[in-house]
Amino acid sequence: MAAPFAPLTAADRDILRWLAAHRGAGWTALAEGLMDLGLNVVLLALLLLAALLAALVVRRLRPLVAAAGGAAVVSVVASQVLKHLIARPRPDAGLALVHAGGYSMPSTDAALVAGLTAAAVLAVRWPGRAWRLTVSAGAVAANLVTGWALVYLGVHWTTDVLAGWLLGGTIGAAVGTLVRRRATDGEPAP
């Protein structure tokens, strides 16, 4: 019986081999720096504290913070459960610049960023089209940069990141939409 991800692994391997052959010191430093930022517990705690304080001070931000936080937590838990069910190995040590433990599909980092950003975009009624487009563009950029860094460093296969985006994006969209509907239930119609 063939492995369920054998066809995907061939394409993933080709992509990662190409990236490994074209790595440069500047790109590697950038990807490692991004990874260090994402793993910095002090920075993450400060961002969480700032979000909570902003939500306390600015009532309009409460749905955004609630949706983004809720979607982030659900995305991380769901991705961890799926990793153990799928049990896909991480990229080979020869292709990876960074070695992570555990299984690889779906990418928890990709799911986390996709869930958080999708919820943030959808949870509130942004004050105008320009705001919504700016926030959406920032969300797309955050997801693309995260996904690139994960594959570039060899922490994940490309399809791990795609699965993480799909999982997190779906969760974030559902949570963001639900929070927005609940927040606007009591508002008068425009």
Q: What residue segments make up the domains of the chain, in order of their start?
A: 24-183
3-state secondary structure string across 5-74: CHHHHHHHHHHHHHHHHCCCHHHHHHHHHHHHHHHCHHHHHHHHHHHHHHHHHCHHHHHHHHHHHHHHHH
Structure tokens at 182: 């609940």
Identify the residue whose tokens are 């975009």. 121
Tens of each residue's pLDDT in the chain, 190 residues: 445 554 567 888 888 888 888 888 887 787 777 777 665 555 556 666 666 566 556 666 777 778 888 898 899 899 999 998 888 888 888 888 788 888 888 998 899 889 988 988 888 887 888 888 888 888 888 888 888 888 988 888 899 999 999 999 999 999 989 988 887 765 544 4
For residues 129 and 73, the answer to whether their CB atoms sit within 8 Å is no
Alpha carbons 69 and 22: distance in angstroms, whole number:
37
Residue 34, pLDDT score: 76
Alpha carbons 143 and 113: distance in angstroms, whole number:
6
Structure tokens at 178: 């639900």
What does the pLDDT look like over 41-68, one tens digit per residue? 555 566 666 665 665 566 667 777 788 8
Amino acid identity of residue 42, one-letter, is: V
